Chains A and B, each alone.
Chain A
């Protein structure tokens, strides 16, 4: 097989795999929406998509959430960064089908504290990843779910 034919085949296989996985959805091109990060199925992939590598554990990053969530469909989570020059805060749920729940770009005047409500399929570690001054920091907390938020 020629080099070109092989490449073409690889591309087709790749596209086919994407289509099979339901990834190829017609949508308006979004400037900021990071598809790779949101499609990530493992923590490593999600971190890689952010360019985070191995974030350092930091006590300056906090997750404020209850230990037990009665309803996995609505889990309030507050992510707080006390690090100077916080640029980005992301919330990831380790055992969800798509780990990344949200990423917030923090402006210079915005206080790095965001509250959102997330879905959790099951008891899982929830990680808050913070990018501050070009470096990544993270902290994780286990939230127990008594009633799953997916499939209902």
Chain B
């Protein structure tokens, strides 16, 4: 379990904008530590976002996504009070889900 995600979701004119900031190292597997040993790859590779229980976005990521990944997208529909849930799975099989309410 990583640290909590920051999720902001706001509905305006029938469109809900969802912004997610995740907390993850996103290690590429290309870097070496001080002793020259390769630091193994460790990154989020799947992200699923749901609005009001319905999957609206599924992303597959590689190690080229920045550390502490940011993701923003918009969905038609949604209203204040709807639940947004975001789940990520990383390459070690770790997973985390966080929820937020649309404002």
Task: Give A contacts to B, CB under 8 Å.
Answer: 22, 25, 27-28, 30, 32-34, 38, 73-76, 93, 96-98, 100-107, 109-111, 113-120, 149-152
Contact = CB atoms under 8 A, between A and B. Distances in A.
Interface residues of B, number: 39
Contacts of B46: 30, 32-33
Contact of B59 (A22, A93, A105, A109): A105
Given A103-B59, A104-B58, A116 B77 contact: no
A107 B55 contact: yes
Interface in B27-63: 28-32, 38, 40-41, 45-46, 54-63
Contacts of A115: 70-73
10 contacts: A27-B92, A32-B46, A97-B30, A100-B62, A101-B61, A105-B57, A107-B57, A114-B72, A115-B73, A116-B72
Contacts of A106: 57
Contact of B60 (A75, A93, A103, A113): A103
A117 B19 CA distance: 12
A151 B31 contact: yes
A43 to B, nearest CB: 14
Contacts of B61: 101-103
A93 B64 contact: yes
B73 A150 contact: no
Given A111-B75, A119-B63, A151-B30, 19 more contacts: A22-B29, A25-B41, A27-B91, A28-B93, A38-B62, A74-B67, A76-B70, A97-B28, A102-B61, A104-B57, A107-B55, A110-B56, A111-B74, A111-B76, A114-B72, A115-B73, A119-B65, A149-B66, A151-B31
A98 to B, nearest CB: 5
Contacts of B59: 102-105, 114
